[in-house]
């Protein structure tokens, strides 16, 4: 699937920085609040496990582990709705379910791939003001790497029945959701409003990647 050329490099940074932030130690002068702790807890699990040889040598096993680990902490349905935008309303139930499943697989496998590039990074949590009964928040962080300037990584999160979940990530102000929404929107328009070609291409790329052909998102 082809991203807009000006956004491709930035999107790569979005995914890589997300992976690195999830796999690095936390730096914060203040006690972390619950939305921040969600990210930290996930990072502890992934950092402890995904550097093991059994996951580095078995991509399928790594993606299954990533899927299981992040699923409780990411709102993939909300992500799918926001990515498709107006096209979600006209999609059939079957198309919605297929798109959600395949787009989630795209993110999970890219997550697993990027994590192999994990290096000596850490994440700094910036101050968070969380008011009682607030159900949406932006967790602001910075990715720190020796010899490099900090990279701003912001997580848009929503509270669903008492559980905080990520539904968008911004790197230096560039939104993961908006990037894909623009790309998919143009492709859907070119296909006459038909979602099936987009979904079928996602299926093909996911299947090819899982077979080790090296196909990239």
DSSP code per residue over 78-92: HHHHHHHTHHHHHS-
**Three-class SS of residue 52?**
coil
Q: In which order are the strands placed within the sheet that holds 148-160?
A: 25-27, 122-125, 136-145, 148-160, 163-171, 174-175
Are the C-beta atoms of 215 and 113 separated by less than 8 Å?
Answer: no
pLDDT of residue 7: 40
> For 170, what's the count of Cα atoms within 13 Å in the CB-facing half-sphere?
14
* DSSP label at residue 150: E
Structure letter (DSSP) for residue 30: S
H or E stretch including 214? Answer: none
Angle between helices 59-70 and 34-49 (to 10 degrees): 160
Q: How far apart are CA 142 and CA 21, in angstroms?
A: 8
Per-residue pLDDT tens, the chain, 217 aa: give them: 444 433 444 444 445 545 444 444 555 557 899 999 998 888 778 777 877 788 878 888 989 999 999 999 999 999 999 999 999 999 999 999 999 999 999 999 877 776 655 556 678 899 999 998 899 999 999 988 888 899 999 999 999 989 999 999 999 999 999 999 999 999 999 999 999 999 999 999 999 888 764 444 5
What pLDDT is recorded for position 2? 42
For 4, phi then psi, to 5°, come to -60, 135
Return the pLDDT at 50. 73
Residue 8: CB atoms within 10 A of its CB come to: 13
Query: In the chain, what is the greatest distance between 2 CA atoms, to the nearest angstrom?
Result: 52
Report d(CA 166, CA 40) in Å as an integer: 13
d(CA 143, CA 20): 8
The domain limits of the chain are 5-207
Q: DSSP string of 159-173?
A: EETTEEEEEEEEETT
pLDDT at position 114: 65
Separation between Cα atoms, residue 177 and residue 30, nearest integer Å: 30
Q: How many residues does the chain have?
A: 217
Q: At which residue do the structure tokens 């990411």 appear?
A: 74
CATH classification code of 5-207? 3.10.450.710
């Amino acid at each position: 699937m082809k991203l807009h050329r000006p956004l491709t490099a930035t999107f790569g940074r979005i995914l890589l920085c997300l992976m690195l932030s999830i796999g690095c130690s936390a730096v914060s002068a203040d006690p972390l609040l619950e939305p921040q702790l969600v990210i930290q807890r996930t990072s502890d699990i992934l950092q402890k496990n995904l550097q093991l040889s059994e996951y580095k040598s078995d991509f399928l096993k790594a993606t299954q582990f990533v899927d299981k680990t992040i699923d409780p902490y990411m709102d993939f349905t909300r992500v799918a709705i926001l990515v498709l935008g107006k096209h979600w309303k006209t999609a059939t139930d079957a198309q919605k379910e297929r798109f959600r499943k395949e787009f989630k697989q795209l993110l999970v496998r890219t997550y697993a791939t990027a994590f192999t590039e994990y290096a000596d990074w850490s994440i700094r949590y910036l101050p968070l003001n969380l008011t009682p009964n607030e159900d949406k928040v932006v967790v602001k962080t910075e990715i720190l790497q020796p010899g490099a300037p900090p990279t701003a990584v912001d997580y848009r999160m929503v509270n669903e029945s008492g559980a905080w979940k990520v539904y968008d990530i911004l790197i230096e102000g560039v939104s993961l959701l908006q990037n894909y929404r623009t790309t998919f929107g143009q492709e859907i328009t070119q296909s006459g409003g038909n979602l099936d070609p987009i979904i079928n291409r996602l299926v093909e790329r996911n299947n090819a990647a899982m077979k080790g052909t090296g196909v990239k998102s």
